[in-house]
Amino acid sequence: MKLAYFVHDLTDPAVTRRVRMLKAGGAEPVVLGFRRAERAPGSLEGCAAVDLGRTYDGRLGHRTLAAAQAAVRTVQWRGLLAGAEVIMARTLEMLAVAEAARRSCGLRAPLVYECLDIHRVMLGSGPVSRGLRAVERALMRRCDLLAVSSPAFLENYFRPVQRAPLPVMLLENKVLELGGEAPRPAPPPPGPPWRIAWLGAIRCRRSLDLLTDLAARRPDLLEVRIHGRPALTEFDDFDAQVARTPGVSFGGAYAAADLPRLYGEAHFSWAIDFMEAGQNSAWLLPNRIYESGRFGAVPIALQAVQTGRWLAERGFGVRLEDISGLEAFLEGLTPDGYAALRAGLEAVPLDAFRAVESDCRRLVEGLRNPRRGVGSQGEASGSSMAKLAA
């Protein structure tokens, strides 16, 4: 099945993972997208990749203009997209480009909207927010399927605000494992100091302030290892704040192959985010809960948000009532207490954390037949919710 995949960032590791999953499920993706890095990859997982230019974090106006410019030249991709059986777009700006390409290239393929975050601008009351919601509603009327990474996006936004009339597929951000089953790393020696790994998209100023403050005051209690891609626009001086705090380190970007080591060296993973508190941060299910669960670091989350509820449903993890309770929790933690937390994690079936080849095949089949759905788990405002791992 030929599939055209429109993405916001060709250099995002999560995009590469999705392409791998599509290929493993039997699709032949062609990837078109912008990039946030200096250079674009020539291909993704052996698939053709079309570079639409560079965009930047935090510059919504520039991204909107870039998407509009790409939309008006979509006819030039007629040959590349010929025969595509599915058009899939990751983020709203790419949905606009994808629909323009579908129309200008005369394609009858179903259109899939993949939404993995609800940006705060979509939830405002001003004219820009209202205008973007109107654009999204208009584009969703032309879609055949909505794919979300958390059911809370549906419950708090797409149902009550946008009244999306689409079948919905849940694509959780699971670790993709296409080879043999790798053993979970052995736990590190119990603390203190207890070691927290904070991996992925590093964008929460309040989390950084709390962790650096506690590590500076209590080096006997806490170490923090940060790896990933910090959103520098969200911090006053991320590098300086980390550098001046003993016990806190930043290891830069990492590859998927590094995850067992990075999580295996930590007692806990940080799964708390306040960047869009009460909105996206309260609704998302981040990659790190699946990664840390797969590789043995116990997630720390807030109990009242979707991440905490997900952990509670599976009976593991640390679920704080308030972020201020972290110090008291670590002070009271004993080796036996940590062993019990680790045992709770290990009791959860691995399939809660990982996607395998059969998940890939179900995903591609669900994209091929979006109105029929796959693995329906109930009705959602007239639309079936098909749950798949991604």
Containing domain of residue 88, as a range?
2-178+356-389
Q: Are residues 163 and 242 in the same domain?
A: no
125 and 103 inside one domain: yes
Q: What pLDDT does 64 receive?
A: 82
pLDDT digits (tens, 9 = 90+) for 225-237: 999 989 888 999 9
User: What is the domain count for the chain?
Assistant: 2
More confident residue, 53 or 297: 297
Query: Residue 253 to residues 160, 163, 260, 264, 355: CA-CA distances in angstroms?
Result: 37, 38, 15, 17, 23
Whether pTM > 0.85 for this model: the answer is: yes
Which domain CATH number covers 70?
3.40.50.2000
Token pair belonging to 214: 């506690």
The pLDDT of residue 58: 67
State whether 316 and 302 are in the same domain.
Answer: yes
Same domain, 298 and 367: no
Q: Give the span between the Cα atoms of 132 and 121, in whole angstroms.
A: 8
Residues 326 and 294 in one domain: yes
- Residues 264-314 have pLDDT tens digits of 999 999 999 998 888 999 999 999 999 999 999 999 999 999 999 999 999
Task: Look up residue 143 and give its two tokens.
Answer: 């879609």
Residue 143 in 3-state DSSP? coil
**Are both 293 and 252 inside the same structural domain?**
yes
139 and 17 fall within a common domain: yes
Same domain for 109 and 234, yes or no, is no
Q: Is residue 188 domain-resident?
A: no
Long-range contacts of 302-306 (CB under 8 A, 24+ apart): 302/272, 305/281, 306/150, 306/151, 306/152, 306/282
Residue 18 and residue 154 in one domain: yes
pLDDT for 162-188, tens place per residue? 998 899 999 999 999 998 778 899 999
